[in-house]
Amino acid sequence: MAKVTIRLTGSLEKQAKSSSLGDQLQTISEPVWDAAHGDPNEAYVASLQRHRFVSGGPEGRISIQIGADPVLGSRVEAKRGTLARALGRIR
């Protein structure tokens, strides 16, 4: 759980890759992003990254991934479950 991926599921085909849906995913990811920045480990917060991925083909999908430095991220997640808690609040 050192990183979180938020992606659209279901058979949306081309719609799943549209920029507007990507923007919606970005909005959904905001609480996770904000919560991760609230962690007391400054080095972990400094290493946080958020990326948007779009896969190709008619079944392509768009996803937002939030992650941190692997070593710091796994330490923080094991200690406090920061991303897990943040993800648990998404509706």
Binding site for other proteins (CB under 8 A): 1, 71, 74-75, 77-78, 81, 84-85, 87-91
Residue 29's CB is within 10 A of a number of other CB atoms, namely 22
CB of 73 to other proteins, least distance (A): 10
Q: How far is the CB of 1 from other proteins (least distance, A)?
A: 5
Q: Please, what is the minimum distance in Å from the beta carbon of residue 15 to other proteins?
A: 25
Nearest to 22 by CA among 9, 3, 32, 7: 7
Please say whether the dihedral angle defined by the alpha carbons of residues 57, 10, 50 and 80, taken in this order, is positive or negative. negative
**Which residue, 55 or 88, has its beta carbon nearer to other proteins?**
88
18 vs 65 by CB, closer to other proteins: 65
CB closer to other proteins, 54 vs 84: 84
What is the end-to-end Cα distance of the chain in Å, rounded? 19
DSSP state of 70: H
